[in-house]
Structure 1
Amino acid sequence: MIAKSTIDAVFDISRVEEVIGDFVQLKKSGSNFKGLSPFSDERTPSFMVSPVKQIWKDFSSGKGGNVVAFLMEHEHFTYPEAIRYLANKYGIEIEETERTDEEKALANEKESMYLVSEYAKKYHQEVLWEAPQGKAIGLTYFKERGFTQETIKKFGLGYALDEWSAFTDTALKEGYNLTYLEKTGLTIVKGEKRFDRFKGRVMFPIHSMSGRVLGFGGRILTNDKKAAKYLNSPESDIYHKSKVLYGLYYAKQAIAKEDNCYLVEGYTDVIQMHQAGIHNVVSSSGTALTAEQIRLINRLTKNITVLYDGDAAGIRASLRGVDLILEQGMNVRVCTFPDGEDPDSFTKNNALEDVLAYFENNVKDFISYKASLLMEVAKNDPIKKAEVINDMMSSISKVSDRIKQELYLRETSRIMDISEEVLFATLAQLQNKEIKDANKKIKQEKKAFEVIKPKEKAKSVDVQYILERKLIEILLLYGNMEATFEDLILKEDDDGELKMERELFEAKVFQKLYLDLQQDEIDLANEKFQKIYYKAIEKLNATGSLELDTFVNEIEPEVANEVTDILMREERYELHNWEAQNIFVKPKEETIAQLTSETILSLRCFLINLKIEELKLSLSEDTKLEDLQSILEEIKDYIFLKKSLSEQLKRVM
Structure 2
Amino acid sequence: MPFPERLIEQIRQKVDLLELVGEVVALKRVGRNYAGLCPFHPEDTPSFFVHPERGIFKCFGCGKGGDAITFVMEYYRMSFPEAVRFLAERLGIPLPTEEAGQSQQKSRHELLFRALRVAAQFYQQMLEAPEGAVARAYVLQRGLQSETLQRFGIGYAPDAWDALVRHLQRQGFHEVVLEEGGLVVRSEQGRVYDRFRHRLVFPIHDPIGRVVGFGARRLREEEATPKYLNSPATPIYDKGRLLYGLYQAREALRTNGYAVLVEGYMDALTLHQAGITPVVATAGTALTVEQLRLLRRYCQQLFVVYDADRAGQQATMRALELALSEGFEVKIVLLPEGEDPDSFVRAQGGEAFRLRMRHAVPFLDFVVLHYQRQGMLESPSGQAQAVRHVVRLIAAVPDRLLHDFLIRHVAARFGLSESVLYEELANQQRGRRSETVAARQPAPVPSAQRVHPPPGTKAMELLPEEQQLFRILLMNPSLWSEMIQGEGVTLVSEQAQRLWDVLCQLRERHPEPLAALVSDMELQQSEVGQCLMELVFVAEAPSSRWSELLLETPEPDARQILQESLLRLRLRRVEEQLHQLRQQYGQLHSWEEQRQLLQQIQQLALQRQHLLNQLSGGS
Fold match (TM-score > 0.5): yes
Q: How does 1:101-180 map to 2 (within 5 A)?
A: 101-130=100-129, 132-133=130-131, 135-180=132-177
- Counterpart residue number, 1:213: 211
Alignment of 1:63 with 2:64, yes or no, is: yes
CA contact (8 A) 2:470 2:535 kept: no
- Counterpart residue number, 1:450: none
Partners of 1:514 and 1:197 in 2: how far apart?
74
Shift of 1:468: 11
- Counterpart residue number, 2:427: 432
Alignment of 1:375 with 2:391, yes or no, is: no
Change (3 A) 1:80 1:357: farther
Change (3 A) 1:265 1:554: closer
**SS of structure 2 residue aligned to 1:371:** helix
**SS of structure 1 residue aligned to 2:280:** strand
Q: How does 1:40-439 map to 2 (within 5 A)?
A: 40-79=41-80, 81-82=82-83, 85-86=86-87, 92-130=91-129, 132-133=130-131, 135-190=132-187, 191-360=189-358, 362-377=359-374, 378-413=376-411, 415=413, 418-421=414-417, 424-429=419-424, 431-432=426-427, 434-435=429-430, 438=433
CA contact (8 A) 2:468 2:562 kept: no
Change (3 A) 1:413 1:464: closer
Partners of 2:173 and 2:529 in 1: how far apart?
41
Shift of 1:56: 1.0
CA offsets per residue over residues 31-50 of structure 1, 9 Å max, x none? 11111111111222211111
Partners of 1:11 and 1:352 in 2: how far apart?
44
- Counterpart residue number, 1:566: 532
Q: How does 1:629-640 map to 2 (within 5 A)?
A: none
**SS of structure 1 residue aligned to 2:508:** helix
Matched residue type, 2:274: A
**SS of structure 2 residue aligned to 1:481:** helix
Shift of 1:224: 3.9
- Counterpart residue number, 2:455: none
Partners of 2:571 and 2:605 in 1: how far apart?
8
CA contact (8 A) 1:245 1:285 kept: yes
Between stretches 351-360 and 297-306, larger displacement belongs to: 351-360
CA contact (8 A) 2:262 2:281 kept: yes
Change (3 A) 1:577 1:197: farther
- Counterpart residue number, 2:482: 509
| Structure 2 portions without partners, runs of 5+ | 438-457, 491-496, 549-555, 574-602, 613-619
CA contact (8 A) 2:388 2:424 kept: no
CA contact (8 A) 1:113 1:180 kept: yes
**SS of structure 2 residue aligned to 1:400:** coil
Q: How does 1:526-537 map to 2 (within 5 A)?
A: 529=503, 531-536=505-510
CA contact (8 A) 1:469 1:529 kept: no
Change (3 A) 1:427 1:156: same
CA offsets per residue over residues 386-423 of structure 1, 9 Å max, x none? 333322222222223345334334444555xx3222x7
Shift of 1:424: 4.5
Alignment of 1:19 with 2:20, yes or no, is: yes
Matched residue type, 2:115: V
CA contact (8 A) 1:127 1:158 kept: yes
Q: Aligned pairs, how many?
A: 549
Change (3 A) 1:19 1:645: farther
Partners of 1:437 and 1:113 in 2: how far apart?
40
TM-score by length of 2: 0.76
CA offsets per residue over residues 431-482 of structure 1, 9 Å max, x none? 236427747999xxxxxxxxxxxxxxxxx99999999999764532343239
Matched residue type, 2:72: L
RMSD (Å), alpha carbons: 4.4
* Greater relative CO (CA pairs within 8 A, separation 6+): 2
**SS of structure 1 residue aligned to 2:378:** coil
Partners of 2:543 and 2:352 in 1: how far apart?
46
Partners of 2:141 and 2:487 in 1: how far apart?
73
| Structure 1 portions without partners, runs of 5+ | 443-459, 483-507, 518-522, 540-545, 604-643
Matched residue type, 1:534: E
Matched residue type, 2:166: D
Pick the structure with greater CA Rg: 1
Shift of 1:348: 3.4
CA contact (8 A) 1:269 1:344 kept: yes
CA contact (8 A) 1:368 1:412 kept: no
**SS of structure 1 residue aligned to 2:287:** coil
- Counterpart residue number, 2:448: none
Partners of 1:3 and 1:143 in 2: how far apart?
52
CA offsets per residue over residues 60-96 of structure 1, 9 Å max, x none? 222212223212211123455545655666xx54434
Partners of 1:182 and 1:359 in 2: how far apart?
43
**SS of structure 2 residue aligned to 1:234:** coil
Matched residue type, 1:479: P
TM-score by length of 1: 0.73
